[in-house]
Amino acid sequence: MDAFLHPFASPAKPEAAFRRVVRAEGTRLWDADGNEYLDAIGNLWNCHVGHGRDEIIDAVAAQLREVDCYNTFDPFTNGVAVAAAEAIRSRSPHPGGRVFLGCSGSDAIDTALKLVRHLHQVSGDTERQLVVRRTRGYHGTNFGGTSAQGIEANRAGWGDLVPGMVEVAADDIEALSVVFAEHGSRIAAVLTEPVQGAAGVYPPVDGYLAGLRRLCDEHGALLVFDEVITGFGRTGSWFASQTYDVVPDLFTFAKGVTSGYQPLSGVVVSTDVAERLAAPDAMLRTGYTYSGHPAACAAAVANLAIIEREGLVDRARAIGERLGTALGALAGDGAIEGHRGIGAIWAADLGRDPVPVRDRMLDAGVVVRPIGTSLAMCPPLTISDDEIDRLVDVLAASL
């Protein structure tokens, strides 16, 4: 039996049946058989600046030689963790807030769930423990995030999950109004992706996120955005909350913060939340051995500097215009059933099983991700116009 148990894969699939990636540079990958691929999913929604960037690699290596790793539990800290937190919050909708650092999007979600309940507990509002989730929502695979996600298949088969979750239909603000009318005094938070990514790329309907903000304000609940996929330029702003002009109380991040060069995640909290957490005699009893890992934080600082210097946030909007127009043309011709997206995150809806088309695209040298009846595309923000055209041409030929 093979040693490596692959995530989100059939345990019965033999190791020899997987495509072994041996090299990556820019927007390209190569496998052990010498095949070259255009990485049109950006690794797994996260490689914003492309592969093989020496600036990030050198920053990580230099940091490892200086301090490889030391915890940031009281009384310790390190300068690069402080610098990473500042670089993140200064670009966020909470430039005066605070940043909790973790390792993965999944642990960021669990931290956010703990924080929203903790805030109500320390405020004496102990009945507020319900978290509202949306159908199609994906929030990682830890127990809290599994319980809080709206993709039923991902919740099945694990036995009893974390209690206190209430699901509403995605994009149905009236359904959420009913939930608040029934449970308003017990709702701790509403959790949502601004753009639902792992379910197949679903941007919000007009006014929906503003409606969430309004209902949370009216009923004393917190609004939490999961920006693990949408953060750091993907939607054409540093964060999707800025794209849609709706500010959450807390938001999670991961993926694009380091472009995948090192594992890093976190939660950004507003100034108000930060002040509530810092009540006299308060203690934050949560954290991870690798919270503020120096090498991961060095990767973040270098990565964010590249995004800033190369104008990749603006580039995401240009990618969206070209890719969205091309997918719209395919839909207009009847080649695909539809398309959805914003900035540099899109899906082509085929109206059927997309895996055979994905496989033909792989054979033609382009990597996309099959989800439901759709193919998702989330390329590095460094992708060229010619590469976007190639992506669409291979998609069209593979249909």
Whose structure tokens read 């004496």? 124
pLDDT string in tens for the chain (399-residue length): 999 999 999 999 999 999 999 999 999 999 999 999 999 999 999 999 999 999 999 999 999 999 999 999 999 999 999 999 999 999 999 999 999 999 999 999 999 999 999 999 999 999 999 999 999 999 999 999 999 999 999 999 999 999 999 999 999 999 999 999 999 899 999 999 999 999 999 999 999 999 999 999 999 999 999 999 999 999 999 999 999 999 999 999 999 999 999 999 999 999 999 999 998 888 999 999 999 999 999 999 999 999 999 999 999 999 999 999 999 999 999 999 999 999 999 999 999 999 999 999 999 999 999 999 999 999 999 999 999 999 999 999 999
Tokens of 105: 């999007």
Alpha helices in the chain (DSSP H): 42-45, 54-66, 79-90, 105-122, 143-148, 152-155, 173-183, 208-219, 240-243, 271-277, 294-309, 312-332, 355-363, 385-398
pTM to 2 decimals? Answer: 0.97
- φ, ψ for residue 388 (rounded to 5)? -60, -45
CB-CB contact of 361 with 394 (8 Å)? yes
What's residue 279's pLDDT?
87
What's residue 14's pLDDT?
97
Rounded-to-integer distance, Cα 383 and Cα 65, Å: 32
- Strand partners for 39: 367
Q: CA-CA distances (angstroms) from residue 386 to 43, 65, 101, 110?
A: 20, 40, 37, 40
CB-CB contact of 40 with 275 (8 Å)? no
Q: Give the SS3 label for residue 91.
A: coil
